[in-house]
Amino acid sequence: MFRRPIKRHDPTAILHQSVLTLNLSQKCVDVIGDGNTNFYTASKTYALGSFKMIVKHNGIRIGEIMVRRGILSEQQVLEILDRQQNVRLPFGVLAEKMFEVSVETIEEAWIEQYCHISGEIDLRHQQVDVRVLKLINRRQAWQFEILPLRFEPSGELLIAASRERLARAVTFAANRLKPIVYFRVAERNHLRNFLKRHYPMPEISTEIFRRAHELAQTS
């Protein structure tokens, strides 16, 4: 039986893995092998709990993204990888500690990597099981821009999420949802249209929520 996670994890940690169902009662596998690694960042933590992600072996690495964006040099990436062999910490954690890369920058690179690996899901061609819609309420659906679609044959709960709020959605799912979750990124406008259909909000509530989100983004 799955138990709700009680630890917090750095979302960038999962991206160093080939196939991962992150159940916090089990060992996690990182880029250099098995280990009960404490995934965290110095200034911000994320709960990932029951989050499933499948990464192709030829998927883009987060270090490649940071080099392409000019955040790190190739030499700095090599230094981080070399350090990883000794301390067994995720790439994002070491980038923050060794070269003062901000958590926000790491998060952006993580999101780009995840979107590249998982690909975008077209909601217009997806079946929605109305029974799983009850797993979250209307406020949660809009706040985190998530749409539960169905339970996959293998047992995971498939959820569509927007790229813009993916990190927050992952944290929410880990803290509040009991099933193992598999996220797929959907185009934001399509997702919001589906949210309007399945989690309709009164016009005044929508406007209040929009303003609250804008204030949160600028604070």
- pLDDT score recorded for residue 118: 85
Exposed e or buried b per residue across 128-164, where buried means at least 16 C-beta atoms within 10 angstroms of its C-beta? beeebbebbebebbbbbbbbbbbbeeeebbbbbbbbe
Q: Please tell me whether residue 46 adopts helix, strand or coil conformation.
A: strand
Fold of 121-218: GMP Synthetase; Chain A, domain 3 (3.30.300)
Q: Is the pLDDT of residue 139 over 60?
A: yes
- pLDDT score recorded for residue 22: 30
Which residues 6+ apart lie within 8 Å of 42 measured at CB? 93, 96, 97
- pLDDT score recorded for residue 59: 66
Which tens digit of pLDDT belongs to each residue from 78-108?
999 999 999 989 999 999 999 999 999 999 9
Distance of alpha carbon 178 from alpha carbon 180, whole angstroms: 7
**Residue 42 structure tokens:** 């110095």
pLDDT-derived band at 23 (thresholds 50, 70, 90) equals very low
Burial of 108 (0-12, 13-18, 19+ CB in 10 A): middle
End-to-end distance of the chain based on CA atoms, in angstroms?
A: 40
Distance of alpha carbon 94 from alpha carbon 71, whole angstroms: 14
Which tens digit of pLDDT belongs to each residue from 33-53?
222 222 222 223 333 444 444
pTM reported for the whole predicted model: 0.66
Per the CB < 8 A criterion, the answer to whether 194 and 146 are in contact is no
30 or 57, greater pLDDT: 57
The domains of the chain are located at 11-118, 121-218
Highest mean pLDDT among 2-16, 55-69, 94-108: 94-108
Mean pLDDT of the chain: 75
Which tens digit of pLDDT belongs to each residue from 167-218?
999 999 999 999 999 999 999 999 999 999 999 987 656 666 677 667 666 6
